[in-house]
Structure 1
Amino acid sequence: MSSDPFDPSGAPREPDPSQWEELLRSMFGADADEAMAELKARGLDPELLAAGSALQNDPAMLRQVLEQVKQMLTATGTGPVNADVAHDVARQAAVAEGDPSLSARDTRVATEALSVAELWLDAATELPPGGGRAVAWSRSEWVEHTLPAWSTLAQPVAASVADALGAVLRDQLPEDLSELGGPEGGIPGMAGLSTFLGGTDGFDPAQMMRQIGSAVFGMQVGTAAGTLSREVFGATDIGVPLLSEPATVLVPTNVSAFAEGLDAPEDEVRLFLALREVAHARLFTHVSWLRGHLLGLVEAYAQGITIDMSALESSMREIDPTDTEALRGALSGGVFGLQSTPEQEATLLRLETVLALVEGWVDEVAAQAALPHLPHAVALREMIRRRRAAGGPAEQTFASLVGLELRPRRSRDAATLWATIAAQVGTEARDGVWDHPDLLPGTEDLDDPAGYFSRREQVTADQSDVDKALAEIFGEDSTTDAPATEPSDDSSDGGATDDGTTDGPTDR
């Protein structure tokens, strides 16, 4: 029979059970005869399966769907995000538009640019080099090194969705699993899928949906990471730390693609992007608390998201588990509706502020380092600013997966703040603001950069008053471990905290 789903008159052909049986046999491989006998013994008729499928007129699509379902259900990865599926999909997406191997020259010019950037940056910041290797990566290599971090970012939401799926299915499924997908309702396609997986004896639909959900999230993460690999210039330009070890990275293929059509020569573009990469690396390496602080905010935001259970239950009644595109849409947050609490909104504001501060600091120090050396530094700075503000499809995918956007909304305000601080007290004091998370500027400081230090002094004074009041309440015993010489009450030094840091930058 022809594979064309339509006959010469243009009408849809009737499904051919032999084709469906052939597809099922191809799925089972060497054990096809035994598996088919078992399926028929359990009442699966390929003709009925063909007639009941929405894909009955498209055998090629059916084959693709069955392959995807089988891949999702047999993947060895575990956890809320199936890392194996994410890896395979990401590698495919990374090479979708080509991923040429790097030549010796590609590697040399990239690593030389990173080395030059380190020298130039010494004049713009007090933070020393990160100490990691300078490397050039292909798109596939970028995926290999950064994918674990992306999976980690998506896990909190994926876990919440998996729990919600299990709860909905437990409430929705009938006691007799043979009724799944029957004429009375239930989940479309579940009956055929359960039979395809070996019948209803011992079949756990809730666990199956968890497994499918894990794989679908893996597909989402892989797609986004693979797409990002075609857009990024290094390992840090997304704004969150993706590497567990210090390193500076350039992706020469993407750098060259970005430089095409620009007025600036490619070597200038490469050096400017190298400055940004090196600045990020110095910040994430030497501000030891920053990585954990950022990832902790992401996790806190994602874990606190609540799922609209009624929307999820409604969507699951309408989604065929064999329709992977529908599942991907549902499990990406578009169907069940992520709901943020006021606490989550506060966490989101803190996260967006820190992301803006990171981006603004990098923007400022990279520009200062570039100005004496690159004629097009100002134009390149503006180009990168606009690019970061606009985002792209991959960042939008992660926004739906993680529940937030990894774009610094106020990076221009943050760059102005850092420039103002440097003008007031110098680059050493500016970089010293990163000494402790309590010293970080907030949204009020982004609104009024010039008032940052006066506000910090007030916070320090208030804290000193609290310390004095506590000392009076608890008496002299609370000071037995204090140094023999105490600073005077009107000292401008910030008070010492339990971890040895200072409460404020008033000495800067």
Structure 2
Amino acid sequence: MADDDRSPEEEFQELLRQLLGGGSGELDAEQLSRLSGMNIDPAMMQTLMQQLQGAFAAGGEGGISWDLAKRQALHIANQDGLGVTTGQRTDLDQAFALATLWLSEATTISELSAAPQAMTRGGWVEATLPFWQELAEPVATSIADALTEALQEQAPEEMQNLVQGAGRLMRTVGGSLFASQLGQVVGELSKEVVSGGDVGIPIMPDGIAAILPQNFADFGRDLEIPDDQLALYAAVRELAHARLFRHARWLRLHVISQITEFARGVHVDTEALEDLASRFDPSEPEELRRALESGALLPARSDAQDAALARLENLLATVEGWVDVVTENAASRLPSADRMAEAVRRRRAVGGPAERALGSLVGLELRPRRLREAAAMWRAVTDAVGVAARDSLWDYPDFMPSAEDIDDPAGLVARLEARARGEAPEPDEMDDALARLLAGEEGPAEPGEGPAGRGEGPVEPGAGDSAGDEDSGASPDDHRPV
């Protein structure tokens, strides 16, 4: 059959064969023009095919092109073309230096070994993208697999052989669509965050503190507070956050394991995806993008996910409550410290557009909903036993306050005061279970039971190995529950 005698459907199949064959991406314009009989814009199709060929080449065997997410994020982050000026860098260096001195009076947790940074939006993307990739990969894989299955079910009978041979490509395409959307969200988020710890989780590399001067205007909008005060307050808070995660190295693993536990439970609503595939119009590619943005492809959370999310929220609240109290004490000399603290709490409670989009994309909202209660607990502990005893609770996972301690700070304070007097703590469920195990009365505790029956989930293997490093000062003999 001559080329001119082929139907539009056959032309489309030929284009797919070119794509699967790893062509150069320069598709024949005349061939594309014949697609008008299928109501497909040839220009749009040529662009799409070139993008898919690039994704296919970069994605590897069933892989996801995270490089696509990086390019997309950096494109958005660097749109204004602005960097960090010499003046901004000097101002932030001075703010970090003074913040370091103030923090030395407010916490016993040691200084960072690496110098804090004035970071561009693009630099923030480069530094944090590995974390976002780890967070999003389970969802991306689920979407890619579901897209493959849905498209295979919706394809016409005459194209089944072609579709079955294109399974790897479809999985790559689905993953690449998600990666592109993730890049969009991370790029927009880079225009909202003020510092490395702004979203409350350890997204920065270990021991790195950073502030993004490009985003200071939005942080101080309507506050009518001088920039030098804003910079100093942000520097105190960022250093407190970075110091904590460097000191308690197990804490970073604990937070990431909680997030990963939640993310592994995320799956795609196949019925919603099949419905989208059945009415998908190639001339309206934004429909799939809107579905990803809105979270329409993610079903309601399961009971297990709700439980994982509750544990994560308590953990984040415990961390940020400590940061709040330490920052409050260290920055008490600033005239507008209370107003800036409230502005930070509002930003964390509401979140920006990009943070909300991230929640829709992966189904996880990073909200420390019990932040005020956790901060009140840390204030009560500080008042009762002092800074050193308070900060020692981060020396080992078993020492960290639980959700019950947030509910009842008085109980935690009583245990700490008894410990300071040298009194042996009352045995708890874990102590009783261990005693019975050593006595040969019964087997070990059920898998997944957290320390002291707190329901926090298992601690990462080796998570406590760093408790005796130069930062914590704790020895293995000190690792006893409070």
Decide whether aligned partners of structure 1 residues 160 and 65 sit closer, same or farther in structure 2, where only a CA change above 3 A counts. Answer: closer
Q: TM-score, normalised by structure 2?
A: 0.79
2:290 counterpart of 1:329? yes
2:276 counterpart of 1:315? yes
1:382 aligns with one of 322, 342, 362? 342
Q: Once the 2 structures are TM-superposed, how far is the Cα of residue 264 of structure 1 from its aligned partner?
A: 1.6
Deviations along 1:423-455, one digit per CA (max 9) or x if unpaired, are 121112211222233333333332332233458
CA contact (8 A) 1:80 1:213 kept: no
State the partner residue of 1:214.
175
Amino acid at match of 2:354: A
Q: Once the 2 structures are TM-superposed, how far is the Cα of residue 391 of structure 1 from its aligned partner?
A: 0.1
Deviations along 1:374-426, one digit per CA (max 9) or x if unpaired, are 11111111111111111011111211222111121111111111111111211
Q: Once the 2 structures are TM-superposed, how far is the Cα of residue 318 of structure 1 from its aligned partner?
A: 2.0
Q: Once the 2 structures are TM-superposed, how far is the Cα of residue 84 of structure 1 from its aligned partner?
A: 1.5
Decide whether aligned partners of structure 1 residues 290 and 271 sit closer, same or farther in structure 2, where only a CA change above 3 A counts. Answer: same
CA contact (8 A) 2:273 2:297 kept: yes
2:65 aligns with one of 58, 82, 95? 82
Q: TM-score, normalised by structure 1?
A: 0.75
Deviations along 1:29-73, one digit per CA (max 9) or x if unpaired, are xx999953xx98xxx6723x12422658xx6x6666566555544
CA contact (8 A) 1:305 1:339 kept: no
State the partner residue of 1:469.
436
CA contact (8 A) 1:413 1:446 kept: yes
Q: Once the 2 structures are TM-superposed, how far is the Cα of residue 287 of structure 1 from its aligned partner?
A: 0.5
Q: Once the 2 structures are TM-superposed, how far is the Cα of residue 222 of structure 1 from its aligned partner?
A: 1.1
State the partner residue of 1:407.
367
State the partner residue of 1:359.
320
1:164 aligns with one of 146, 150, 154? 146
Q: Once the 2 structures are TM-superposed, how far is the Cα of residue 170 of structure 1 from its aligned partner?
A: 4.3
Amino acid at match of 1:86: A
Q: Once the 2 structures are TM-superposed, how far is the Cα of residue 256 of structure 1 from its aligned partner?
A: 4.2
Cα distance between partner residues in 2 of 1:208 and 1:263: 54
1:226 aligns with one of 182, 187, 206? 187
State the partner residue of 2:134.
152
Decide whether aligned partners of structure 1 residues 272 and 215 sit closer, same or farther in structure 2, where only a CA change above 3 A counts. Answer: same
CA contact (8 A) 1:65 1:322 kept: no
Q: Once the 2 structures are TM-superposed, how far is the Cα of residue 104 of structure 1 from its aligned partner?
A: 1.7
Amino acid at match of 1:408: P
CA contact (8 A) 2:155 2:163 kept: no
CA contact (8 A) 1:259 1:269 kept: yes
Q: Once the 2 structures are TM-superposed, how far is the Cα of residue 100 of structure 1 from its aligned partner?
A: 1.5
Q: Once the 2 structures are TM-superposed, how far is the Cα of residue 142 of structure 1 from its aligned partner?
A: 1.4
State the partner residue of 1:114.
96
Cα distance between partner residues in 2 of 1:347 and 1:338: 16
Amino acid at match of 1:137: M
Cα distance between partner residues in 2 of 1:91 and 1:35: 28
1:91 aligns with one of 65, 74, 78? 74
Deviations along 1:262-316, one digit per CA (max 9) or x if unpaired, are 2221100000000011001101101011111111111111112243322322222
Decide whether aligned partners of structure 1 residues 437 and 172 sit closer, same or farther in structure 2, where only a CA change above 3 A counts. Answer: farther
Deviations along 1:452-473, one digit per CA (max 9) or x if unpaired, are 3458997744433333333333
State the partner residue of 1:288.
249
Deviations along 1:164-188, one digit per CA (max 9) or x if unpaired, are 223334444455317xxxxxxxxxx
CA contact (8 A) 2:70 2:183 kept: yes
Cα distance between partner residues in 2 of 1:311 and 1:472: 55
Cα distance between partner residues in 2 of 1:99 and 1:77: 32
Deviations along 1:109-129, one digit per CA (max 9) or x if unpaired, are 112211211111011111101
2:386 counterpart of 1:426? yes
Decide whether aligned partners of structure 1 residues 248 and 418 sit closer, same or farther in structure 2, where only a CA change above 3 A counts. Answer: same
What 5-or-longer segments of structure 2 have no aligned partner? 1-7, 417-423, 443-462, 466-475
Decide whether aligned partners of structure 1 residues 344 and 459 sit closer, same or farther in structure 2, where only a CA change above 3 A counts. Answer: farther
Q: How high is the sequence identity, in percent, across the aligned residues?
A: 37
CA contact (8 A) 2:25 2:50 kept: no
State the partner residue of 2:122.
140
Cα distance between partner residues in 2 of 1:212 and 1:126: 50
Cα distance between partner residues in 2 of 1:167 and 1:455: 56
2:83 aligns with one of 94, 98, 101? 101
Compare CA radii of gyration and give the structure with the larger one. 1
Decide whether aligned partners of structure 1 residues 471 and 149 sit closer, same or farther in structure 2, where only a CA change above 3 A counts. Answer: closer
Cα distance between partner residues in 2 of 1:106 and 1:261: 21
Deviations along 1:339-370, one digit per CA (max 9) or x if unpaired, are 42222211111111111111111111011100
Q: Once the 2 structures are TM-superposed, how far is the Cα of residue 241 of structure 1 from its aligned partner?
A: 1.2
Superposed counterparts of 1:45-64, under 5 Å = 46-47=33-34, 49-53=35-39, 55=41
Superposed counterparts of 1:38-49, under 5 Å = 46-47=33-34, 49=35
Please state whether the residue corresponding to 2:105 is helix, strand or coil.
coil
Please state whether the residue corresponding to 1:230 is helix, strand or coil.
coil
1:267 aligns with one of 228, 234, 242? 228
Cα distance between partner residues in 1 of 2:267 and 2:104: 46
State the partner residue of 1:277.
238
Decide whether aligned partners of structure 1 residues 355 and 208 sit closer, same or farther in structure 2, where only a CA change above 3 A counts. Answer: same
What 5-or-longer segments of structure 1 have no aligned partner? 1-16, 179-199, 476-496
Cα distance between partner residues in 2 of 1:51 and 1:300: 48
State the partner residue of 1:449.
409
State the partner residue of 1:305.
266
Please state whether the residue corresponding to 1:406 is helix, strand or coil.
coil
Cα distance between partner residues in 2 of 1:160 and 1:453: 45
Cα distance between partner residues in 1 of 2:347 and 2:355: 12
Q: Once the 2 structures are TM-superposed, how far is the Cα of residue 134 of structure 1 from its aligned partner?
A: 1.7
Deviations along 1:213-258, one digit per CA (max 9) or x if unpaired, are 2211111221111111111122121111123342221111212443
Size of the aligned set, in residue pairs, is 428
